[in-house]
Structure 1
Amino acid sequence: MAINGSFRGLRGKKLSLAIAAICSALLIWTWEETTLLINSLPPPNSFEMLPSPVILRSPMHHLKHEEKQQYEHGYTDTNSIDVILTEQIDPTAGIQSVISEISTSLITKKVDESSVNMPIEKKGCKYEKGKWVADMRRPLYSGFECKQWLSDMWACRLMQREDFSYESYRWQPFDCEIPEFDGSEFLRRMRGKTIALVGDSLGRQQFQSLICMITGGKHFVLVEDVGIEYGLVKAPGAVRPDGWAYRFSETGTTILYYWSATLCELERLNRSDPATNYAMHLDRPVPFLTNFIHRFDVLVLNTGHHWNRGKMRANRWEMFVGGKPNADRKLSEIGNAKNLTIRCVVKWADLQISQNPELKVFFRTISPRHFLNGDWNSGGSCNNTKPLLRGSEVLQEGSMDAVVESAVKGSKVKLLDITALSGLRDEGHIARDSLTAAKGVQDCLHWCLPGVPDTWNEILCAQL
């Protein structure tokens, strides 16, 4: 009896231990399955959260300067900004797999919502916002050596000017770098393509600047004059042709310029009368564009400085709309007329891009004038020769040329915004060294070359 009783007691103890072991296992399993829920609740008398998988945004003052810039401009480095903290969680295998799943879910959700943790391109560079910085590697070509392409009236090295510090500056955008211009590399990239600049004399300056930048100012024997292909030949009695076109034989790259002060069609009202007036068709692009757009790969447009009453009278231009003389008094105002033409040209160019997606069209904003104490014909001057007295930075949002900015908005035509950055460079004009300075007329509109228009081309090339 004693032995049987002892046996039963022992068996009872074993059974109790087994039951206790099973209960403990169940409790442990339950604890593992509910740990995340428990961890999500605040402990008694505390609002402090227990350790859980979280995503922390590093404070700005902990970031390096480069990282701050990336953060401010919409780019996130997942190695330095987003940190998944799981090291304080119990490293039990089962719970770790749950944490892994939740962390993956959080990251996936974050990617889906903002693509923060994926390699992404930086937002488009705002080339118009930045600063002028001294750069002794400038200029990009020599005014002495670019005689083949550069007009004497814009080559300030060939004039009486003695201070050339304006040549040694480059434009530095705040949120990106402008690639260093290389003429040979540019021609390689533009192999077989045609780049057309159409606009007023500031467009011609940009054209000559680009040719000089490509050649380095030196004589290129493998450049062919192909102006005749575009009707760019000097007419009898004309001072110069309406434009020029040059083809770099090695790559087949063509650079051309066509003079059009207003970008709209000008039509002689009486073809037999040399002194006839011209119909200025505000709603029609200049025929050169419509005739040759199919041959262009890149088109740069500009207008602005001929939209004034003095030019209208001197050139005998009469406003036409819809093929008839304009009868709208509001449209007779110069600003409204210019606005209409720019919008019509942009709308037409936008349609051309839709039909040929490979075509790239830019509308350059107006180049600033710096006349003081009068205008070009009333004693105005711009005698400053010290760079950056007006400041060195452009911080504003939006273009100073609101007409062009508004016209291209919503279209596929790109804005080449050079107005504000050029406005800081009043010392870069030809000024009293112009050919007309002896007559008391300073040129505070056109620029010395090499000079500011080289920057316009650097920004253009960066956007191609």
Structure 2
Amino acid sequence: MAKRGENTVKKHQVMQVLPAGAWGIKSSFRSLVALLFAFLVVAAIYLRQSNEQVFQHANGRTHDAISSGGCNLFSGKWVYDNKSYPLYKERECTFMSDQLACEKFGRKDLNYQFWRWQPHQCDLPRFNATALLERLRNKRLVFVGDSLNRNQWISMICLVDSAIPPAFKSMHNNGSINVFKAKEYNATIEFYWSPLLVESNSDDPVNHRVPDRIVRVEAIEKHARHWTDADILIFNTYLWWRRRQMKVLWGSFESPEDGIYKTVKLPRVYEMALQTWARWLEVHVNRNKTLLFFMSMSPTHEMADKWGGTSGENCYGETEPVMKEGYAGDGVSPRMMRAVESVLGELKTRGLNVQMINITQLSDYRKEGHPSIYRKHWETIPQQQALLVSISNSSNLIEFDINGSNFTGKVNIDFGGLPGLLWLVLASNPLGRGEVDDLDFLNYLTKCRKLQILDLIYDQLGGVIPDSIGNLSTQPVQLRLGGNRLRGSIPIGLIGNLKMLRLLDLSENQFSGSESSVANLTRLTFFPNNILEPSSKSTKRSQRNLGYLDVSKLKNLGYLDVSENQFSGEIPSGLGSCVSLEHLYMEGKSFEGSNPNSFKSLRGLQNLDLSRNKLSGQIPEYLQQFSLMTLNLSFNKFEGAVPTTGVFRNATALSIMGNKKLCGGIRN
């Protein structure tokens, strides 16, 4: 922000409302109250130490189920129990965090504390703090990851707190590591802040919310040295990866100007980090001593209509769990879940057992279990309506950013009074109500002729895109409208009139109708979950073949993503004319045949993903000559010898697993 505005900050205004402090507004929806799941961590430790486990394919898909006598702990239901629950009281826990202290900060309905998880095939024993401490005697238990694991750590401490006299316990903090010590047992329960496991520019335990996240996917030792000798390690990493792509640094954060930066798409960048983590475990973990666990993903409950609530609302005010068994909500990525399962499966084949603590389904039910507004707010948020109205009078405003700030309702602002506006970022708020006129405010933006970025992703905006969007700007402009409830056809003027359109994201909406001309785009993304139903029968018959789009005209296209859609047939040879392409993603079980020879002209490619298709024949040798940072050809029907030079020498950048007729090459 400073660099973009440093020459104009005295003349113009920049307004940015970003979460401050260590937690941020969005954490109120991302974090379930801590006491809900810590008992499962305890159960997992008990069972692993007792070697009572069975591996099975449960309805959490393919992750291993920590079990007792054949009972899957993660398959069950929530039962109201106000006799034996809660296991501890918030106000009696010495170390309760203000970010989780719902009662302290005004929550009146406390019934969320009385729900007990009941597996279908067995009963969980009553928690015994002394017994747990005996299990932990002379041991280090370390939670590693983001705020989800921090919550589990706090809950674990609160579970044992009452069993230890004040003189026999201590807590200290040293940067990223927090250590609770039970002195009589010589046991520590620790949390280490490492939200992406590998090194990143979000590693500071307080100041970690940055607009441009950067990771070093091959660097983990800086973190790992703090938990090398732990007896029990519980990892998690998920929410901080929820971006479509991330910048990867090959180099050092100490000398960032000397590094190489490349943008890598999700989930590939997530897989790369997990592989680095897995390699570290293989080398450093004592298989005879250390117990290893991985905490699965937790949902956010940001869209009430998913469980039958009011459209446009979230979990605020909810007082009971979802009682429908098998309910699956939002906020969890199956592709990322599969990436974790794949890495854990590979480790298992190499003799290293990392157990999944699968909280995903059981936390899906707990829509009432988030802190929501009932917590300490480090940031000062002005009255939302007053703020939104006041900016209409800020004629010199050049940037307005309220990303992730929990604003709600319709956007009723006359942006026409902001002629110098360059950036308008309203992303990741519950803005809109899914109604037909939610985007009417865009009509005012036609007066903002200098606008360069309009970011509305992951709001709750409904209706159709107004035709006026074609008159939006005379500047190179990026439009991000994904993750909403937009419907109808895509206006022809959206692309036809915006000659300088540089990026268009219409993902995860409900559009219908045919595509517009896209010849001026530099980035084009066809995302899953859009409903594209061309109006003519002839177009509809050819819709699933990518050839119906004349991609040969996209001379300036640098980014093409057609992954996880219903396209089929052969890869169009016209792609060879897209000589500016740097990022090409075509994964998703649809394409067949061989790579077209026209791909030889795509020498600028940096990232190529053709995985999970039906491509056959030999791997093209010309790929050896490309300067690829990542190449994913997994789960196709390629055969013959694997090339041996270029990217094919880099095990981190290459994935060719699942091609049963390939021979030679590096070990995957």
Q: TM-score, normalised by structure 1?
A: 0.55
Separation (CA, whole Å) in 2 of partners of 1:138 and 1:352:
40
Where do 1:49-448 residues align within 5 Å?
Answer: 124-136=70-82, 137-146=84-93, 148-216=94-162, 220-225=166-171, 227=172, 232-233=173-174, 241-266=175-200, 280-285=215-220, 287-289=222-224, 291-309=225-243, 318-320=247-249, 325=260, 327=262, 332-353=264-285, 355-372=286-303, 381-392=314-325, 401-411=337-347, 412-436=353-377
CA distance in 1 between partners of 2:127 and 2:343 (Å):
30
C-alpha distance in structure 1 between counterparts of 2:368 and 2:221, whole Å: 34
Render the CA deviation track for 1:31-71: whole Å, top value 9, x for unaligned: xxxxxxxxxxxxxxxxxxxxxxxxxxxxxxxxxxxxxxxxx
- Partner Cα separation in structure 2 for residue 218 and residue 157 of structure 1: 24
Within 1, Cα distance between the matches of 2:169 and 2:339? 37
Question: CA shift at 1:343, angstroms?
Answer: 3.0
Checking the alignment, whether the CA contact within 8 Å between 2:98 and 2:376 is kept in structure 1 is no
2: CA distance between counterparts of 1:371 and 1:267? 27
Separation in 2, partners of 1:156, 1:258: 24
**1:391 Cα deviation (Å)?**
2.3
Distance verdict in 2 for CA 1:358–1:124, change over 3 Å: farther
Deviates more, 1:215-224 or 1:244-253: 215-224
CA offsets, 1:387-407, max 9 Å, x none?
A: 223525679xxx963332232
Aligned pairs, how many? 291
Contact 2:327 2:364 in 1 (8 A): no
Using a 3 Å threshold, how does the CA distance of structure 1 residues 292 and 243 change in structure 2: closer, same or farther?
A: closer
The CA distance in 1 between the partners of 2:192 and 2:157, in whole Å, is 14
> Is the 2:98–2:375 Cα contact (8 Å) retained in structure 1?
no
Contact preservation (8 Å) 1:349, 1:413: no
CA distance 1:161–1:363, shift in 2 (3 Å) = same
Per-residue CA deviations over 1:323-355 (Å, capped at 9, x if unaligned) read 86354x6xx1132211221232134224433x4
The structure with higher relative contact order (CA 8 Å, sep 6+) is: 1
Aligned residues of 1:191 and 1:251 also touching (Cα < 8 A):
yes
| 1:320 partner letter | L
Compute the displacement of 1:381 (Å): 2.9
Q: Mapping of 1:20-31 within 5 angstroms? A: none
Summarize deviations over 1:75-127 as a string: whole Å, max 9, x none.
xxxxxxxxxxxxxxxxxxxxxxxxxxxxxxxxxxxxxxxxxxxxxx9755322
The equivalent residue for 2:497 is none
TM-score (norm 2): 0.39
1:6 counterpart residue number:
none
CA distance in 1, matches of 2:137, 2:371: 34
Residues in 1 aligned to 2:68 and 2:314: alpha-carbon distance in whole angstroms: 43
Give distance in 1, aligned partners of 2:123 and 2:217: 39
CA contact (8 A) 1:130 1:393 kept: no
Quick one: distance in 1 between partners of 2:230 and 2:212? 31
Following the alignment from structure 1 to structure 2, what is the Cα–Cα distance between the partners of residues 215 and 260? 25
Aligned counterparts of 1:175 and 1:357: Cα–Cα separation in 2: 30
Q: Is the 8 A contact 2:134 2:185 kept in 1?
A: yes
**Identity among equivalent pairs (%):** 26
- Alignment-mate amino acid for residue 419 of structure 1: T
Q: CA deviation at 1:172?
A: 1.5
CA deviation after TM superposition for structure 1 residue 285, in Å? 2.2
Q: Is the 8 A contact 1:394 1:421 kept in 2?
A: no
- Taking the aligned partners of 1:413 and 1:222, their CA distance within structure 2 comes to 32
The equivalent of 1:59 in structure 2 is: none
Distance 2:319 2:230 in 1: 40
Compared CA separation, residues 368 and 220, structure 1 to 2 (3 A): farther
Shift of 1:423: 0.7
Could you say if the C-alpha distance between residues 152 and 267 of structure 1 is closer, same or farther in structure 2, counting changes exceeding 3 Å? Answer: closer
Q: Matched residues in 2 for 1:350 and 1:153: separation?
A: 36
CA distance in 2, matches of 1:180, 1:187: 15
Q: Tell me, what secondary structure is at the counterpart of 1:246?
A: strand
Q: Which amino acid aligns with 2:233?
A: L
SS of the residue corresponding to residue 152 of structure 1 reads coil
Say which one has the larger Rg: 1
Q: CA deviation at 1:356?
A: 3.8
DSSP 3-state at the match of 1:160: coil
* 1:263 counterpart SS class: coil
User: In structure 2, how many angstroms separate the alpha carbons of the residues matched to 1:321 and 1:170?
Assistant: 47
Alignment partner, residue 643 of structure 2: none
Unaligned runs of 5+ in 2: 1-53, 56-66, 203-209, 253-258, 306-311, 348-352, 385-404, 408-427, 429-668
Judge conservation of contact 2:146–2:195 (CA < 8 Å) in 1: yes
Code of the aligned partner of 2:294: F
Q: Is the 8 A contact 2:102 2:371 kept in 1?
A: yes
Distance 1:122 1:149, change over 3 A: closer
Asked if the contact 1:363–1:415 (Cα under 8 Å) also holds between the matched residues in 2, the reply is yes
| Structure 1 residues 333 and 410: CA distance shift in structure 2, 3 A | closer
Stretches of structure 1 that go unaligned for 5 or more consecutive residues are 1-72, 75-120, 234-240, 269-274, 446-464
Q: Per-residue deviation at 1:259?
A: 0.7
Q: In the superposition, relative to structure 1, how do residues 171 and 347 fare at CA in structure 2: closer, same or farther (>3 Å)? A: farther
Q: What secondary structure sits across from 1:170 in the alignment?
A: strand
